[in-house]
Structure 1
């Protein structure tokens, strides 16, 4: 009897073990599938986020290129205008030179006609008609002076005419080159505008993709939210700053960031320097100008302002640049908490972003 009971207990235990294993396997499989799905969602989101960032950078580059191209076109227009004015002036100078030459020639012809009418065909006859050696010498000196004067005036005016005519030819050549450059710039600009339209469509699509995954994976919004709270604390703590045109070595970083945050939501427009619209470098220039600190206008020049700052030593208010050494196409302001405020691109507004992008280039500190 005792053996039967023991056998029954062992059998029940064996069956229970098998049942637990059978139950455990589906749970394990379910958990594995859930992990796999979550990982797949993360990868899909990262891919969408990477695609979106790539397109954002492309738009920034286009904004930078378009701004440079417009600047080139504007410079060319000014140069064309200046050249045209110079050509008009040169044309007038040529006309004056021609009139002077004509007057001198008319005066010369008048003297010759007068001499002919008085029975003298040329200067030789004037000399031959002299009465005695003293009269001959006197007439010779007079004739010599007249001839030298005639030759000098005609030579000077002729040289001036030649010089001015050569200048006109050079200016006309320069004008042709400038007009060709202008046409080339405008053609490039038109192409860039077309490309921007195509990129804008991709940006919208990428934004949709990122939004569809934002509920499943943290996309850095928590960092941005925390930074916004931090900036609000700055705004509450800093006193109202009165601008000093000479700048200040004791300029508060918190004051700079707090002032910059007043423009959150302001639309991006290339070439704009505020306050209704900004591009990236115009925004930086405007903010620092409020504190009497003068910095240059473009990303290309701002990257040489102030002093270099290593990424690990960034402080609020530092200018941070993105792109390559040969093409720094974007600039923003570090605000702390691994975040920065910037005017991103066409179609976007001034905002705070997490400093996670891969094309970080360098940073500069201006005070």
Structure 2
């Protein structure tokens, strides 16, 4: 009967009543057959309706599934793009970290070399300081002896011995000075006043304060500079401690507010009048480090 109904559906245009199912039912030979055909049509119609509902539900499920899949695909594309961005960032971070590691390794190597140089300079400064202290001690003993001899009417031979001692002292100092320091007139002028007592405001060989010593030595060479350290610290051009040359002035404090000044003589050493109760002497950057230098 189903096969026949399908055949009737194909011939719907030839239906006498305009409904192939009605034609099928009414074409029965008797009432019993028509009833049987009507029941069959009813079952087939109900089955078709159920099938249509199932089909519609299935189509809706497919539509929903396509929508879900499309949304998931969009998320996957976005996630992939995000992962690619993160990967690029990681690669960049890795490259920067590698570069930083290389720089740190290079700096470490350079710092190790610089440390070795500083240790060598410190050792040289310590050796120079020891030599200068020994020479200063000898000079002090010489001055003490000279003072005692002068009190007792020192003779010509004693004066000659004193001059010889002073020459030996200067030679000892010269051994730790560079050639440029040995040829610097300001430094040579300052050297002859080693042992002169500190006098507050002093600007003569009878007594110097820190800036007075510098002022007097420059004056000997026909050069005029400010009297006090604050003014002296503004003269010439700024020099970093690591770039000092013999003859540069070194200061403690700030530019225009410096509270102490000395004359750099090379090899990490300087001449200065330290403080009351002391004398003009040579100091070391290794033990009392200035803040900056000025080159006049």
Q: TM bucket by the smaller chain?
A: 0.3 to 0.5
Higher helix fraction: Structure 1 or Structure 2? 1
Larger of the two Rg values belongs to structure: 2
TM-score, scaled relative to structure 2: 0.41
- Between 1 and 2, higher relative CO (CA 8 Å, sep ≥ 6) is seen in 1
